[in-house]
Amino acid sequence: MPGSGSVGIVISAAAVYVGAALAEIAGCFAFWAWLRLGKSALWLAPGMVSLALFAYLLTRVDSDFAGRVYAAYGGVYIAASILWLWIVESRMPDRWDVLGAGVCLVGAAIILWGPRPG
């Protein structure tokens, strides 16, 4: 876990990850809406913009290795998807959804901020 002097970095990374998750889920949902819900193909334009924003946002995380950023993001994505399920799709997550998302967020924090040599 980062030291007390790096609270701003933690908050910044968390904000970027949340923004990236919202952008990715919204972009993917645009394709879902078109292909599965019969929405107009016009849904694809904002979906593609949203997916480009997602990719850009992940480059804003302070890390020397893309793989570590992507791995940590995976946990955030899972938690954000459970929130999407609840807020957008009006389906209350069950205890296993919540527990699984919590475990993933702990794993993401360990990956991103765990102590490393050198």
pLDDT in tens, 65-116: 889 989 999 999 999 999 999 999 999 999 999 999 999 999 999 998 899 8
The answer to the question of residue 90 being in a domain is yes
pLDDT in tens, 7-54: 666 678 889 999 999 999 999 999 999 999 999 999 999 999 999 999
The pLDDT of residue 32 is 96
The pLDDT of residue 1 is 47
* CB-CB contact of 20 with 54 (8 Å): yes
The answer to the question of residue 75 being in a domain is yes
The answer to the question of residue 88 being in a domain is yes
The answer to the question of residue 118 being in a domain is no
The answer to the question of residue 15 being in a domain is yes
Domain limits for position 93: 4-113
Domain count, the chain: 1
